[in-house]
């Protein structure tokens, strides 16, 4: 199994969720073994995608370097990670990824449009070897060994539309596109009003988020899935786990997880080499992990 990038550069212009300002983003193919790299063209700063680059996790996952930041990276990274892309440069002329419709489906369409290219170096993955978890009050996130890539998320909101929701996602590209990528970010009207009072969520609208008051959804078109809320949590978690730097083979579980807990989980996994191993999927072609990944990629056309 080989590393992946996109076939050619592609450009998109949109607005950021929190600052509400226009941003131009270019996705550029990179050579094998380059990894995922962010570049602020207006500042001339390159920011690598690592847990050490994370500077904030309150409302989104934010990376930074020398005071220059890039915010709300999780939706784009979720799509990149889901497609198994290893090498890519993300060029931005402002400090936030375009929010599009609040999901990652637009980024999936962008990747489908330009196509994926296999490269001449073997693909590597990070395999979870030992169970680890991070707990904070009634919230917990954990990783467990598995030959598959699984995301299992549970939420419980005291709201008549949400309530208790649970979803288990066994990874493949097609399943991601169908069942995860279209799930939108969500928020409550009183939170939106507060966030705007402190200069955040300025780009938020019913066009790029599910907004709820105390009793109902305000979006006239309703939900895309009955359990769209928990599915979006999985979308976010996939993006957050991409900061490990490799495709993660293992089972992720969360009860009321968050960007902050996901960040702590990536750091905890990497702090002890006994927790994981980096495997070469070219050498391990007959292992169950490699076979499962090959099947997960099989429905996506790669040339």
Write down which residue in 121, 149, 184 finishes a domain.
Answer: 121
The Cα–Cα gap between 154 and 165 comes to 6
* Same domain assignment for residues 103 and 246: no
* Same domain assignment for residues 71 and 140: no
Write down which residue in 81, 98, 121 finishes a domain.
Answer: 121
Token output for 90 = 């993300």
* Same domain assignment for residues 139 and 72: no
* Same domain assignment for residues 103 and 148: no
How many structural domains comprise the chain?
A: 2
The Cα–Cα gap between 284 and 78 comes to 25
* Same domain assignment for residues 66 and 145: no
Q: Which residues, at least 6 apart from 190, have a Cβ–Cβ distance to it below 8 Å? A: none
* Same domain assignment for residues 251 and 149: yes
Q: Is the pLDDT of residue 199 over 80?
A: no
* Same domain assignment for residues 213 and 288: yes
Query: Do 59 and 195 touch, CB atoms closer than 8 A?
Result: yes
Q: Which residues, at least 6 apart from 226, have a Cβ–Cβ distance to it below 8 Å? A: none
* Same domain assignment for residues 145 and 263: yes
pLDDT for 303? 35
Has residue 128 been placed in a domain? yes
Q: Is the pLDDT of residue 290 over 70?
A: no
pLDDT for 229? 98
Average pLDDT of the chain is 92
> Which residues are part of the catalytic machinery?
259
Q: Render pLDDT for 62-84 as a digit per residue (tens, 0 to 9).
A: 999 999 999 999 999 999 999 99
Q: Which residues, at least 6 apart from 46, have a Cβ–Cβ distance to it below 8 Å? A: 37, 38, 39, 40, 65
**Which residues pair with residue 69 across a beta bridge?**
64
The CATH number for 211's domain is: 3.30.1700.10
Q: Is the pLDDT of residue 286 over 90?
A: no
Has residue 29 been placed in a domain? yes
**Structural domain of 115:** 2-121
Long-range contacts made by residues 58-62, C-beta under 8 angstroms, separation at least 24?
A: 58/259, 58/260, 59/18, 59/195, 59/200, 60/17, 60/18, 60/259, 61/239, 61/240, 61/243, 61/259, 61/262, 61/263
8: phi then psi, degrees, rounded to nearest 5: -155, 165
Has residue 116 been placed in a domain? yes
Write down which residue in 103, 121, 139 finishes a domain.
Answer: 121
Q: Is 215 exposed, middle or buried (0-12, 13-18, 19+ CB in 10 A)?
A: exposed
* Same domain assignment for residues 53 and 157: no
pLDDT for 271? 97
Token output for 181 = 């990528």
Q: Is the pLDDT of residue 114 over 60?
A: yes
160: phi then psi, degrees, rounded to nearest 5: -60, -25
* Same domain assignment for residues 154 and 113: no
Q: Render pLDDT for 134-165 as a digit per residue (tens, 0 to 9).
A: 999 999 999 999 999 999 999 999 999 999 99
* Same domain assignment for residues 171 and 53: no
Query: Do 123 and 86 touch, CB atoms closer than 8 A?
Result: yes
pLDDT above 90 coverage of the chain, percent: 83
Has residue 202 been placed in a domain? yes
Has residue 303 been placed in a domain? no
* Same domain assignment for residues 221 and 89: no
Has residue 143 been placed in a domain? yes
Largest CA distance in the chain: 56
pLDDT for 301? 44
Has residue 302 been placed in a domain? no
Q: Render pLDDT for 206-246 as a digit per residue (tens, 0 to 9).
A: 899 999 999 999 999 999 999 999 999 999 999 999 999 99
pLDDT for 5? 98
């Amino acid at each position: 199994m080989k590393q992946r990038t996109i076939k050619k550069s592609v450009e998109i212009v949109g607005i950021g969720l929190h600052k509400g300002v226009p941003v131009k983003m270019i996705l550029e193919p990179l050579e094998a073994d380059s990894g995922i790299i962010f570049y602020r063209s207006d500042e001339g700063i390159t920011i690598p995608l690592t847990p050490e680059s994370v500077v904030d996790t309150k409302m989104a996952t934010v990376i930074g370097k020398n005071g220059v930041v890039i915010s709300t990276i999780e939706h784009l990274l979720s799509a990149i990670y889901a497609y198994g892309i290893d090498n890519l440069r993300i060029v931005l002329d402002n400090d936030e990824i375009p929010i599009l419709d609040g999901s990652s489906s637009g980024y999936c369409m962008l990747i489908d449009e330009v196509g994926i290219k296999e490269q001449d170096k073997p693909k590597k993955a990070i395999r979870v070897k030992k169970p680890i978890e991070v707990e904070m009050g009634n919230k917990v996130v954990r990783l467990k060994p598995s030959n598959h890539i699984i995301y299992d998320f549970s939420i419980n909101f005291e709201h008549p539309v949400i309530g208790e929701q649970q979803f288990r996602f066994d990874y493949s590209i097609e399943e991601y596109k169908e069942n995860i990528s279209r799930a939108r970010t969500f928020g409550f009207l009183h939170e939106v009003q507060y966030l705007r009072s402190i200069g955040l969520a300025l780009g938020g609208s019913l066009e790029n988020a599910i907004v709820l008051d105390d009793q109902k959804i305000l979006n006239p078109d309703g939900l895309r899935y009955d359990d769209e809320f928990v599915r979006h949590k999985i979308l976010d978690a996939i993006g957050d786990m991409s900061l490990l730097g490799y495709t993660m083979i293992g089972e992720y579980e969360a009860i009321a997880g968050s960007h902050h807990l996901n960040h702590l989980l990536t750091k905890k996994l990497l702090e002890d080499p006994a927790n994981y191993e980096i495997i070469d999927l070219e050498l391990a072609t007959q292992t169950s992990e490699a076979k499962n990944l090959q099947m997960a990629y099989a429905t996506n056309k790669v040339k």
